[in-house]
């Protein structure tokens, strides 16, 4: 448990000896849940990538919404810039 706590969790050896067994157990449960979630997300991404490669398509996991979030309306950007200029002048 010491190796996992100081390696994967990144806590200091001093802190390790101050934690209770229950606290360490909860940290381990959280770590396992996070790893499971990361693995599931990775599997979905791999499936989409393989499907796209085999079918010659380029489907996105997130759809078109991801592309729209990166677009900024020039008028809104100018208004925000003017607001910041007035705020700090």
Under the banding of pLDDT at 50, 70 and 90, the label for residue 22 is very high
Tokens in use for 51? 């499907």
For 48-82, write each residue's pLDDT tens digit: 788 777 887 766 666 655 555 567 778 888 888 88
What pLDDT digit, counting tens, does each position of 23-41 carry?
888 888 988 898 899 999 8
| Nearest-10 Cα torsion for 57, 62, 75, 82 | -130
């Amino acid at each position: 448990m010491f190796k996992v706590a100081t390696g994967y969790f990144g806590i200091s050896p001093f802190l390790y000896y101050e934690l209770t067994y229950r606290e360490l157990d909860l940290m381990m449960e959280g770590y396992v849940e996070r790893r499971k979630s990361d693995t599931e997300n990775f599997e979905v991404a791999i499936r989409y990538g393989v499907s796209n490669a085999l079918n010659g398509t380029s489907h996105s996991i997130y759809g078109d919404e991801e592309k729209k979030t990166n677009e900024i309306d020039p008028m809104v950007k100018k208004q925000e810039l003017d607001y910041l200029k007035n705020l700090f002048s």
